[in-house]
Structure 1
Amino acid sequence: MQSNKVVLNNEDGLHARAAALFVREANRFSCDINLEAHGDKVNGKSIIGIMSLGAFNGEEVVIYAEGPDEEEAVARLTHIIEKDFVNI
């Protein structure tokens, strides 16, 4: 299992557009992906799950991945968050 902590720096946090971008990218990987915030962990391939986290600007989230392409998935999803969901 791979994981990485990352801080949301985009103004609106995991709002609908950002969640949709995250889910679209997560679904490109075959591994299981989860996202955690505030002690709640949800399926990283579910837009409803991610939006239910209510994660906002400045908050820390943890990306977890387990499966054959877990390292690539965590690296790519971390990159998307670090780039504030822009120019990905």
Structure 2
Amino acid sequence: MAQRTVTVASASGLHARPAKLFVQEAVRLGVPVRIRAGERTVPATSMLGVLSLGAVQGTEVTLESDAPGAGEALDTLAALLSRDLDAGEALDA
């Protein structure tokens, strides 16, 4: 199983806009990915699930998948979480 661990960089954590952008990207990638914070694991495509993690800025989360194409998808999602998604230019890079 492929895994990536990343620290949430957004000032508001994975709430509101950052969670929406993360979930939209997970859906766009089309690879089943799970995100884990502590003992709780949810699908990366579930807005309610991602919000329920309660991940604040500085929280370490683990992304995991055993699907084909997982490595690239996890790299993309990890890079997204490592940026401040509250900033307007977050997806321009």
TM-score by length of 1: 0.91
Structure 1, unpaired ranges of 5+? none
- Give the paired residue count: 88
Match for 1:62: what amino acid?
T
Indicate whether 1:37 and 2:2 are aligned.
no
Matched residues in 1 for 2:67 and 2:8: separation? Answer: 25
Secondary structure at the aligned position of 1:27 is classed as helix
User: What per-residue deviation string (whole Å, max 9, x for no partner) do you get for residues 14-69 of structure 1?
Assistant: 00211110110001223211000021000111000000000101110011122121
Q: RMSD between aligned alpha carbons?
A: 1.2
Give the match for residue 21 of structure 2: 21
Q: Which has the higher strand share?
A: 1
Query: % of aligned pairs identical?
Result: 34
Instruction: Output the CA distance in 2 between the equivalents of 1:30 and 1:15.
Output: 22
Q: Does 1:47 align with 2:75?
A: no
Q: Which runs of 5+ in 2 are unaligned?
A: none
Q: What is the match of residue 59 of structure 1?
A: 59
TM-score norm. by structure 2 comes to 0.87
In the alignment, what sits opposite 1:3?
Answer: 3
CA contact (8 A) 1:63 1:78 kept: yes
Aligned twin of 2:80: 80
The 8 Å contact of residues 30 and 69 in structure 1, kept in 2 or not, is answered as: no
